[in-house]
């Protein structure tokens, strides 16, 4: 791009996930090889929106035409001019950037409102981003974009019957000419109706094959269905997109045979929760689809179990009255002040400590170990005498002493996070970063993967005292079956939204 060598948006701390009400701090970094003087202004904006778009062919013959169905819904848009004039000031003087590196600090506060999770789909998306534009009259503008994810809350403890195991039974009769063999009976059972990423879906199956056909295999898959809505000239049309999130393959059985599977588990990867109630043009739903492949016929035995994906897991002792579910921004109250971290396994750097709230566990930053700088040696000035307030007690973790601020109170509590497992970290969506197409003048390639809440499975189940093993015939625990995940559930690296360029 000639004189322009670097144009990028940097977030403080390289943070990628924010909560409603948070402030985004950052810098715009520009590097030019020689003086650049064709600039009217440098503008930056912070945007959150949902967008749907596709084309349809209407009419026939000479009247055939391509129609663009589009809907854009903005949640927020904030714009600031960092240097020079705004785009509307047509007669403003030009500004110059001398050769070298230039930094322009910025900050935006995300509105305190309920927002849907980011999402990338074939016919639309929900995106949050900060975009910098070097405005050049009568030329293509230079621009760059940095996308980020929004922390969303879906507390499964408020869902109706979330822990009631859904079950379903189907009977399939396979016909051959005028004769029908006995029915194929499949009974499927899940352990509950709601899950969070990092949990396992435990699937139990009973197959009775009373037919003369072989059951080749049984496929259990978690499916995501996205519903898109877009309009043209007052007409509203709909599209759907179904993706396989994860899959479990099980053996079938011979004719007149049977098979039984008990609590086979399937891990849920990082995926968007069902938090699109306030999104007018995109909705998400999930189901567990069980399919028995019957040899010699395309008519398989199939059943579906709808499930809810949330961000806070539900357990028997944490269930709450659904009628008391907090609405809007109030749902974020349990997470006020909690840091947002990127997922690593428990015990690795960056994993949120699980000690008492308000006090760093021993060995964590801000807790100076004895003998280290910042910890006064015994009997030295600044070290409280034994028995005096502030003297470190000899007891193990639990400090500060009972009754002091930040000490977890004993007995019943109204804390909304009481009894919950450690908070989740954030992990990239299945498939990792994908290229986000931009309009002409975009500087560099934008790679992006939405970040979603993800619980470390071992830590989650250990905290709740739930065994993960799969029972075997001899009463022991056997390894779980292999599950396969698709390479990507992200949008392909092309731009199906040509009209959106006008708005971004």
Rounded distance between C-alpha atoms, residue 502 and residue 495, angstroms: 14
Q: Is the pLDDT of residue 173 over 90?
A: no
Q: Which residue has the higher pLDDT, 356 or 1?
A: 1
The residue among 308, 265, 220, 281 whose CA lies nearest residue 457 is 265
Q: What is the pLDDT of residue 337?
A: 58
Q: What is the pLDDT of residue 361?
A: 41
Q: What is the pLDDT of residue 338?
A: 60
**Arithmetic mean of pLDDT, 411-421:** 54
Q: Which residue has the higher pLDDT, 338 or 142?
A: 142
Q: Is the pLDDT of residue 399 over 50?
A: no
Rounded distance between C-alpha atoms, residue 246 and residue 266, angstroms: 8
Give the torsion sign (CA, 61, 66, 67, 69).
positive
The residue among 215, 218, 203, 123 whose CA lies nearest residue 168 is 203
Rounded distance between C-alpha atoms, residue 297 and residue 174, angstroms: 8
User: How long a stretch of residues is the chain?
Assistant: 504
Dig out the tokens for 32 from the structure.
Answer: 């030019």
Mean pLDDT for all residues in the chain: 79
Of the listed ranges 12-21, 192-201, 438-447, the one predicted with least confidence: 438-447
Residue showing tokens 């499930």: 307
- 457-502 pLDDT, tens digit per residue, is 888 887 777 665 444 333 444 444 433 333 333 333 334 444 554 4
DSSP 63: G
- 113-124 pLDDT, tens digit per residue, is 999 999 999 999
The residue among 382, 363, 460 whose CA lies nearest residue 420 is 460
Q: What is the pLDDT of residue 405?
A: 44
Q: What is the pLDDT of residue 180?
A: 57
Classify domain 4-155+490-502 at the CATH class level: mainly beta
Letter string b/e over residues 386-412, b meaning 16 or more CB atoms within 10 A of that residue's CB? eeeeeeeeeeeeebeeeeeeebeeeee
> In a 3-state reduction of DSSP, which class is residue 186?
strand
Q: Is the pLDDT of residue 333 over 50?
A: yes
Give the torsion sign (CA, 13, 17, 21, 26).
positive
Q: Which residue has the higher pLDDT, 333 or 361?
A: 333
**Arithmetic mean of pLDDT, 107-113:** 95
Contact between residue 419 and residue 317 where contact means Cβ atoms under 8 Å apart = yes
Q: Is the pLDDT of residue 88 over 80?
A: no
Contact between residue 426 and residue 453 where contact means Cβ atoms under 8 Å apart = yes
| CA–centroid distance for 203 within its chain | 24
Dig out the tokens for 393 from the structure.
Answer: 């007690």
Tell me what percent of the residues of the chain surpass a pLDDT of 90. 52
Give the range with max mean pLDDT: 87-101, 348-362, 418-432.
Answer: 87-101
DSSP 255: T
Q: Please state whether the predicted TM-score (pTM) of the whole model is above 0.85.
A: no
- 262-298 pLDDT, tens digit per residue, is 999 999 999 999 999 999 999 999 999 999 999 888 8
How would residue 244 be classed by pLDDT, with cut points 50, 70 and 90? very high
Q: What is the pLDDT of residue 346?
A: 39
Rounded distance between C-alpha atoms, residue 28 and residue 229, angstroms: 35
- 353-392 pLDDT, tens digit per residue, is 443 333 344 444 444 444 444 444 444 444 445 555 444 4
Domain boundaries, the chain: 4-155+490-502
The residue among 111, 109, 132, 129 whose CA lies nearest residue 120 is 129
> In a 3-state reduction of DSSP, which class is residue 498?
helix
- 23-55 pLDDT, tens digit per residue, is 999 999 999 999 888 899 999 999 999 999 999
* 476-483 long-range Cβ contacts below 8 angstroms, 24+ apart: 480/264, 480/265, 481/248, 481/249, 481/250, 481/264, 482/249, 483/246, 483/247, 483/248, 483/266, 483/267
Letter string b/e over residues 107-125, b meaning 16 or more CB atoms within 10 A of that residue's CB? ebebeeebbbbbbbbebbb
Q: Is the pLDDT of residue 131 over 50?
A: yes
Q: Which residue has the higher pLDDT, 88 or 477?
A: 88
**Could you tell me if residue 440 is left (phi over 0), alpha (psi between -120 and 50 degrees) or otherwise beta?**
beta
Tell me what percent of the residues of the chain surpass a pLDDT of 70. 72
> In a 3-state reduction of DSSP, which class is residue 29?
strand
The contacts of residue 242 (CB under 8 Å, 6+ apart) are: 223, 224, 225, 226
- Report phi then psi at 119, rounded to 5: -155, 140
């Amino acid at each position: 791009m000639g004189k322009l060598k670097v144009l990028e948006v940097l977030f403080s701390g390289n943070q990628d996930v924010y909560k409603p009400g948070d402030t985004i701090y950052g810098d715009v970094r520009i590097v030019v090889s020689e003086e650049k003087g064709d600039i009217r202004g440098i503008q930056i904006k912070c945007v959150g929106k949902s967008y749907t778009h596709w084309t349809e062919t209407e009419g026939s013959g000479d009247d055939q035409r391509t129609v663009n169905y589009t809907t854009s819904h903005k949640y927020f848009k904030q714009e600031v001019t960092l240097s020079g004039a705004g785009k509307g000031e047509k007669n403003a003087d030009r500004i110059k950037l001398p050769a070298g590196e230039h930094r322009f600090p910025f900050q935006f506060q995300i509105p305190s409102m309920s927002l849907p999770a980011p999402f990338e789909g074939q016919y639309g998306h929900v995106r949050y981003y900060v975009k910098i534009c070097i405005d050049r009259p009568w030329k293509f503008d230079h621009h760059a974009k940095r996308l980020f994810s929004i922390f969303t809350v879906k507390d499964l403890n408020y869902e109706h019957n979330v822990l009631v195991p859904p079950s379903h039974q189907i009977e399939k009769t396979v016909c051959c000419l005028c004769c029908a063999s006995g029915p194929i009976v499949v009974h499927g059972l899940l352990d509950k109706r709601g899950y969070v990423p990092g949990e396992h879906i435990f699937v139990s199956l009973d197959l009775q094959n009373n037919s003369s056909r072989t059951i080749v295999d049984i496929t259990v898959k978690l499916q995501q269905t996205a519903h898109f809505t877009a309009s043209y000239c007052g007409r509203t049309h709909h599209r759907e997109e179904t993706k396989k999130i994860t899959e479990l393959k099980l053996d079938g059985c011979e004719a007149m045979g049977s098979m039984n599977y008990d609590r086979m588990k399937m891990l849920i990867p990082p995926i968007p929760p069902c938090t699109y109630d306030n999104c007018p043009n995109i909705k998400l739903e999930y189901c567990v689809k069980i399919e028995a492949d019957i040899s010699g016929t395309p008519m398989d035995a199939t059943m579906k179990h709808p499930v809810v994906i949330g961000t806070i897991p539900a357990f028997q002792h944490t269930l709450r009255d659904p009628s008391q579910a907090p609405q809007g921004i109030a749902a974020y109250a349990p997470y006020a002040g909690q840091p947002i971290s990127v997922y690593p396994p428990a015990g690795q750097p960056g994993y949120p400590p699980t000690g008492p709230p308000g006090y760093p566990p021993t060995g964590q930053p801000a807790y100076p170990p004895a003998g280290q700088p910042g910890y006064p040696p015994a009997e030295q000035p600044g070290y409280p005498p034994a028995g005096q307030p502030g003297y470190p007690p000899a007891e193990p973790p639990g400090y500060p002493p009972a009754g002091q601020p930040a000490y977890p109170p004993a007995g019943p509590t109204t804390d909304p996070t009481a009894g919950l497992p450690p908070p989740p970290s954030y992990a990239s969506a299945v498939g990792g970063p994908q290229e986000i197409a931009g309009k002409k003048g975009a500087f560099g390639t934008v790679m992006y993967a939405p970040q979603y809440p993800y619980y470390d499975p071992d830590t989650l189940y250990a905290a709740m005292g739930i065994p993960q093993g799969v029972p075997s015939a001899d009463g022991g625990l056997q390894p779980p079956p292999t599950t396969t995940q698709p390479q990507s559930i992200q949008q392909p690296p092309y731009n199906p939204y040509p009209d959106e360029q006008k708005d971004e």
